[in-house]
Amino acid sequence: MNIVLTAINAKYIHSNLAVYSLKAYAEKYKEHITIAEYTINQQMDEILMDLYKKQPDVLCFSCYIWNLTYVETLIREIHKILPDLPIWVGGPEVSYDSKDVLLRLPEVTGVMKGEGEEMFLELAAYYIDGNRELSETAGITFRNSEGGIVDCEWRRIMDLSKVPFVYKDMKEFANKIIYYETSRGCPFSCSYCLSSIDKCLRFRDLDLVKQELQFFLDEKVPQVKFVDRTFNCKHEHSLAIWKYIQEHDNGVTNFHFEISADLLNEEELQLISKMRPGLIQLEIGVQSTNPDTIREINRTMRFEKVAKIVKRINSFGNVHQHLDLIAGLPFEDYESFGKSFNDVYALCPEQLQLGFLKVLKGSYMKEHEQEYGLIHKSLPPYEVLYTKWLPYKDVLKLKRIEEMVEVYYNSGQFTYTLSQLVKAFATPFAMYEAMGAYYEENGLHVVSHSRVSRYEILLQFALQQDAKRGELYRELLVFDLYLRENMKNRPEFAGEYTMEKEELSAFYEKESKEHCYLEGYEMYDKRQLRKMTHMERFHYDVTEDGTRRERVILFDYRNRNPLNYQARIFCMTDLEFL
């Protein structure tokens, strides 16, 4: 018997925790279970052929919002080649309308609703041992031999500590993000989220968690992403985990958590302040700062408190913070979204993600779509097209803004230029709006751009806003560019190189002997030092207020800021430099 658990991930770097967890729980049948992982970027034909070659006796698919359309098409095709093959689906995207799934997909044998470990074990027993009936398996919806649909009741939730740890041989997960779970369910009730349906919050035993964290630390895994819906909803749990990773830090591993910032208490903040830069990163859903919107979507977030805490964490200078907003929520029109954007932008997160509402089946939002005049796409991810408050033309403008934020803000490549350029606009939102319009007017949004051309475009845009500050903007862009990259081919927009050969030669000669600036370069000679670093003369104070002030900046690429990857810099007056 060969039961194939199929995961189609969004990107190659992702792995699918669910299929590994199902296989680990059904340990006694492990010889009969195969995992097949692909990505949605692969040709469907390639996956179809590969699945066929695996000769499955039972085929299972893990379904999520990002792969459902792909999986459904694949199921229709595979059924043509293997018409008698039992096909099962599971995951949040099929759990809450399981009967509809079976009506929509006659090729599918059944749906596993909710958490799958125990259900899958029973299904494996049904197919492998053949000594039980399908109808005995709580939590499934299936097609019986007469073609009728049988909807068994949902299972009771399971003890999360009984789920085996899935990571043993890390070679299997080389170059992949590692996902890890220490709690299931969420105590909150956000109206757009399916996690709000699962109110039974449960936690994995902390002793087990510590052993597993130690495994990641020993293996020097680059990143572990916790999939816990609100990681810090129980202080005792989050504090114990953060304490453990702080005390056992290996200097390499980064841990990512989704949290509610306003739940953080003083003890947790104190602990976070002492962590190695880059040890943890935090994802914080703000979604909107409009109080009417927050109330309507049943969120308990208090933005004033979130703002205070995010700023405080920012002041520690050791944690990458990722803040989320959602466009298309009730009571949020274009102007109100602009305000939410400006409020969040003012907190200077490392990343600001501007997402669009997804109207998920089974969610409160879906049930109230008429009331909100909410029209969404028919296919997953069921993204909002327009609402009573936000017409489609404004959704389009926000799409353009989202692209600009991704390219210019979230890339972290234009930090200093943006901080000066924003002064030419009434608000940050107005700046990204104008950038989006500039891209559109100049047909720039339809072609792909190299990294350097993004700098050139931003310079042209800045010149259009304020030509008098053109030289400052050019220098800021040159600074931003070299802050990230020791670029050997000087791009055209950067203009003539401002350093003389003689002064460079004198500086590196001295540095190779005296080691005044560059730490960790002691074994390199002056020629190597020059290659490994960059020096540039600036005529404006690019690191501070942009006023006229001549300085030479040395860029050290071996000592980067772990949060934003920027090179360490040394600013010198001509006097110091010479």
Closest by CA to 5, choosing from 51, 45, 43, is 51
In the bound complex, what is the minimum distance in angstroms from residue 401's beta carbon to ligand SF4?
A: 22
In the bound complex, what is the minimum distance in angstroms from residue 531's beta carbon to ligand SF4?
A: 48
CA–CA separation, 218 vs 541, rounded Å? 44
In the bound complex, what is the minimum distance in angstroms from residue 181's beta carbon to ligand SF4?
A: 13
φ/ψ (deg, to 5) at 250 = -100, 5
In the bound complex, what is the minimum distance in angstroms from residue 428's beta carbon to ligand SF4?
A: 25
Burial of 523 (0-12, 13-18, 19+ CB in 10 A): exposed
Provide the phi-psi class of 401: left if phi over 0, else alpha when psi is between -120 and 50, else beta: alpha
In the bound complex, what is the minimum distance in angstroms from residue 213's beta carbon to ligand SF4?
A: 22
Extended beta strands in 234-379, E state = 254-259, 280-287, 320-327, 351-356, 375-376
CA–CA separation, 99 vs 334, rounded Å? 38
In the bound complex, what is the minimum distance in angstroms from residue 64's beta carbon to ligand SF4?
A: 15
In the bound complex, what is the minimum distance in angstroms from residue 188's beta carbon to ligand SF4?
A: 4
In the bound complex, what is the minimum distance in angstroms from residue 151's beta carbon to ligand SF4?
A: 25
Closer to ligand SF4 by Cβ: residue 82 or 197: 197
Rg over CA atoms, the chain: 27
Closer to ligand SF4 by Cβ: residue 364 or 557: 364
List 470's β-bridge partners, or say none. Answer: none
Closer to ligand SF4 by Cβ: residue 244 or 364: 364
Strands 223-226 and 254-259: parallel
Closer to ligand SF4 by Cβ: residue 62 or 196: 196
37-61 burial string, b = 16+ CB within 10 Å, else e? bbbeeeeeeebbeebeeeebebbbb
In Å, how far from its chain's centre is CA 267? 27
Q: What is the tally of helices (H) and strands (E) in the chain?
A: 21, 20
Extended beta strands in 329-409, E state = 351-356, 375-376, 384-386
Give how far Cα 391 sits from Cα of 240, 327, 383, 403, 529, Å. 47, 11, 14, 19, 56
331-358 burial string, b = 16+ CB within 10 Å, else e? bbbbebbbbbbebbbebebbbbbbebbb
Closer to ligand SF4 by Cβ: residue 164 or 187: 187
Closer to ligand SF4 by Cβ: residue 161 or 298: 298
Amino acid at 231: F
In the bound complex, what is the minimum distance in angstroms from residue 72's beta carbon to ligand SF4?
A: 25
Closer to ligand SF4 by Cβ: residue 78 or 190: 190
Closer to ligand SF4 by Cβ: residue 188 or 345: 188
In the bound complex, what is the minimum distance in angstroms from residue 295's beta carbon to ligand SF4?
A: 14
In the bound complex, what is the minimum distance in angstroms from residue 520's beta carbon to ligand SF4?
A: 42
* Residues engaged in binding ligand SF4 (CB under 6 A): 186, 188, 190, 193, 195-196, 229-230, 285
Q: Which residues have CB under 8 Å from 480's CB, separation 6+?
A: 413, 414, 415, 416, 417, 455
In the bound complex, what is the minimum distance in angstroms from residue 471's beta carbon to ligand SF4?
A: 46
Question: Would you state the structure tokens that stand for residue 71, as one six-digit string?
Answer: 């999986």
CA–CA separation, 120 vs 25, rounded Å? 8
Closer to ligand SF4 by Cβ: residue 137 or 363: 363
Closer to ligand SF4 by Cβ: residue 234 or 560: 234
In Å, how far from its chain's centre is CA 385? 23
Closer to ligand SF4 by Cβ: residue 176 or 184: 184
Question: Would you state the structure tokens that stand for residue 145, as one six-digit string?
Answer: 């031999």
Closer to ligand SF4 by Cβ: residue 381 or 391: 381
CA–CA separation, 265 vs 258, rounded Å? 16
